[in-house]
Structure 1
Amino acid sequence: MSATVAAPSPARLSTLDKYLAVWIGLAMLAGLLLGRWVPAVADALNAVTIGSVSLPIAVGLLVMMYPVLAKVRYDEIGDVARDRRTMVLSLVLNWVVGPAMMFALAWIFLADLPEYRTGLIIVGLARCIAMVIIWNDLACGDREAAAVLVALNSVFQVVAFALLGWLYLDLLPGWLGLSSTGLDVSPLEIAGSVLIFLGIPLAAGFATRRIGEARIGRERYESDFLPRIGPWALYGLLFTIVVLFALQGEAITDQPLDVARIAVPLVIYFALMWGGSMLIAHRVGLSYPRATSVAFTAAGNNFELAIAVAIAVFGATSGQALAGVVGPLIEVPILVGLVYVSLWSRRFFAESPAAQGEQ
């Protein structure tokens, strides 16, 4: 039996999904204008925080992730976990290729801007745990595979983030004769972020699925209940984008050339990580849904963790924090575009014997 859940074809997408790029563009513009025209809004949004993250952002992220995690068929996750090709490929792409690529791009394009360079490297170290679930779902990826890979990345994040920060910001630059930057962040801080932004919606989604199926059965749960809560994932996404860009709207509009310089390596990074991951997944015989999950988890980044770390270590007005905020400014429209590229690429994924092994 397939571990994937049938997803709607592009022709059946709702109006909200079909014009997602438009809504996201409007949300980004609204946030930028709000931050620019109402400077006091940043203080209001930052008045209450969870760790170093604004409470409104935290709420938006939780609302965004809950509906998708409530869709996961948790009883089929074991099939994904036993797929060694998917698991190993995802780990290598996320924890070897991704950080190394961002390190190289940051030094190539921002060698003369150490604050932005450091911020970009931190973005590369913060692997996906949030929006990637939305992109995967929109691209008709394997929902269970995405849940497993996100959970796996979260565990590695707690263990590896501080170590990789030391490697890429201190040790490796020293070996290469480059300037180094310390990153003083504890595993407990990272674990707290993972617990809040993944643990809470994951527990809520799991509980909803178990209770819902027990009361009304799987068929009614998926045909009646899920369509009602589904749009809230995108409402949460749009709300988060508005708040995020409102917080940094003035900095972004005041420094357009700096934003452009930070954007160039990010565009290259997202394109290479997603395209390379999709190509490798195809070559090793993964099916389209699972290849999509691998590609989006490899290309996506945990911007809330990157921003939280940059603010905690370097300050809210630092160049490192600005680079962290520019991350989703570029990631959101690029990965939305890649959703459409991904749907187009399905024609190249025949069900090979190797892909049949996922079933």
Structure 2
Amino acid sequence: MSAADKAAPLPQAPTGLGVFERWLSLWVALAILAGIGLGTTLPGLFGVFAALEVAKVNLAVAVLVWAMVYPMMVAVDFASLAHIGDRPKGLVLTVVVNWLIKPFTMAGLAVLFFEVVFAPFIAPQDAEQYIAGLILLGAAPCTAMVFVWSQLTRGDATYTLVQVSVNDVIMIFAFAPIVAFLLGVTDIAVPWGTLLLSVALYILVPLAAGIATRRWLLARAAPGTGAAAIERFGATMKPVSVLGLLLTVVLLFGFQGPVILDRPLVIAMIATPLVIQSYGIFAIAYLAAWAWRVPHKVAAPCALIGTSNFFELAVAVAISIFGLSSGAALATVVGVLVEVPVMLSLVAIANATRRHFPGAASAE
């Protein structure tokens, strides 16, 4: 290992997932059932929510997405970008996998399954919507949950923060062009105005609010207590973020309820390319890190960042472009349901293979 690798502080051993993270799949499944039930019994109520729209942005969903994303942005420290040159291998892998590989493999798998494998069972217009939703997921790398996955693999917390911060900066400029390109390649009309508006609303606005809040917390904290103040703020806001996620799922599945009840296998169909993509991207990033002799505390988070998705952004953009009741919105929400069990299995794989990476002994 280089001197820089040895110098970076090791985070505390993981204490495990919290109640919400551990049972996220269950909470989302319950929200799905609640949404389907309410959408079937109270269609008028969901019609009211659907009517709350300005410039193709559903206001109810916008508020809920901001509630989800804003606390995450407060946790991102862009001052960490000063360390962008420290141990560049992990950062290079993260950028290459997230922006040069992942969006394109996801689009390829989406086209393969919904235009070839599942084509006999799905109407072409539905297949087009599911492909669009999967493209949105593939172009949005994780921002928040990756800190949990990093902790569970004893990742370098400081380096993970650098990786996430760099991804957020790239996302501001690259998300819209990549999505537009891939939608165009798959012959889906690209509403550039709505796409750019979505980037502004769901990345730039919460990011600016997060930066402002972080500075305010640091300014009013006593010397040496800034990090603790930010952590307390995050703990306070976490219930709001959780509620935003679950209510968004209820709304989406409330609109999708009749479709799902008529065709329950559609969830499994959407999940299939998502699962294949997750394990495939992890394998690419993790094996590349192993071949490049990247320390495990950097390699594991690096691979997990590429595997996990910023599903909050994908959901919001799908709704803005295609509508609340669209197949694209449904596909992005299935990503939420799939993510946690898949990610926990990958955490287990990373921990079981730690000994094959440099620096394994110091992490024990």
TM-score with structure 2 setting the length: 0.77
Question: Cα distance 1:197–1:266, how it changes in 2: closer, same or farther (>3 A)?
Answer: same
Please state if 1:117 is matched with 2:108: no
Letter in 1 for 2:166: V
Question: Cα distance 1:157–1:337, how it changes in 2: closer, same or farther (>3 A)?
Answer: same
Question: Cα distance 1:278–1:24, how it changes in 2: closer, same or farther (>3 A)?
Answer: farther
- Please give the per-residue CA displacement for 1:60-92, whole angstroms capped at 9, x wherever unaligned: 111111112212233213324766444543443
- Please give the per-residue CA displacement for 1:20-72, whole angstroms capped at 9, x wherever unaligned: 33222212221222222222232122121254342222111111111122122
Structure 1 equivalent of residue 191 of structure 2: 185
- State the 4+ residue runs in structure 1 displaced beyond 4 angstroms: 1-8, 81-84, 127-131
Return the match for 2:288 from 264, 280, 295: 280
Return the match for 1:132 from 142, 145, 148: 142
Return the match for 1:244 from 215, 237, 252: 252
Question: Cα distance 1:85–1:131, how it changes in 2: closer, same or farther (>3 A)?
Answer: closer
Structure 1 equivalent of residue 315 of structure 2: 303
Please state if 1:59 is matched with 2:55: no
Identity %: 24
Question: Cα distance 1:132–1:250, how it changes in 2: closer, same or farther (>3 A)?
Answer: farther
Structure 1 equivalent of residue 155 of structure 2: none
Return the match for 1:214 from 191, 214, 219: 219
Question: Cα distance 1:295–1:262, how it changes in 2: closer, same or farther (>3 A)?
Answer: same
**Structure 1 residue 156: deviation in Å?**
0.6
* Structure 2: stretches of 5+ with no match in the other structure: 152-159
Question: Cα distance 1:347–1:206, how it changes in 2: closer, same or farther (>3 A)?
Answer: farther
CA root-mean-square deviation: 3.3
Question: Cα distance 1:78–1:88, how it changes in 2: closer, same or farther (>3 A)?
Answer: same
Counterpart contact for 1:270–1:334, Cα < 8 Å: no
Question: Cα distance 1:49–1:164, how it changes in 2: closer, same or farther (>3 A)?
Answer: same
Structure 2 equivalent of residue 178 of structure 1: none
Q: Take 1:41 and 1:4, find their aligned partners in 2: how far apart are those partners?
A: 52
Q: Take 1:73 and 1:223, find their aligned partners in 2: how far apart are those partners?
A: 12
Q: Take 1:223 and 1:264, find their aligned partners in 2: how far apart are those partners?
A: 37
Letter in 2 for 1:206: I
Q: Take 2:147 and 2:305, find their aligned partners in 1: how far apart are those partners?
A: 10
Question: Cα distance 1:130–1:243, how it changes in 2: closer, same or farther (>3 A)?
Answer: farther
Letter in 2 for 1:185: P
SS in 2 for 1:256: coil
SS in 2 for 1:134: coil
Question: Cα distance 1:212–1:95, how it changes in 2: closer, same or farther (>3 A)?
Answer: closer
Structure 2 equivalent of residue 20 of structure 1: 24
SS in 2 for 1:140: helix
Return the match for 1:230 from 213, 228, 238: 238
SS in 1 for 2:145: helix
Question: Cα distance 1:326–1:226, how it changes in 2: closer, same or farther (>3 A)?
Answer: closer
Q: Take 1:90 and 1:268, find their aligned partners in 2: how far apart are those partners?
A: 19
What are the within-5 Å matches in structure 2 for residues 1-359 of structure 1?
A: 6=11, 9-11=14-16, 13-80=17-84, 84-111=88-115, 112=119, 113-126=123-136, 132-140=142-150, 142-166=160-184, 168-169=185-186, 181-186=187-192, 188-217=193-222, 218-222=226-230, 224-284=232-292, 285=294, 287-288=296-297, 291-292=300-301, 294-300=303-309, 302-311=314-323, 321-329=326-334, 331-344=335-348, 345-349=350-354, 352=358
Matched residue pairs, number?
Answer: 333
* Structure 1: stretches of 5+ with no match in the other structure: 170-180
SS in 2 for 1:239: helix
Q: Take 1:68 and 1:48, find their aligned partners in 2: how far apart are those partners?
A: 26
Question: Cα distance 1:259–1:225, how it changes in 2: closer, same or farther (>3 A)?
Answer: closer
**Structure 1 residue 322: deviation in Å?**
1.3
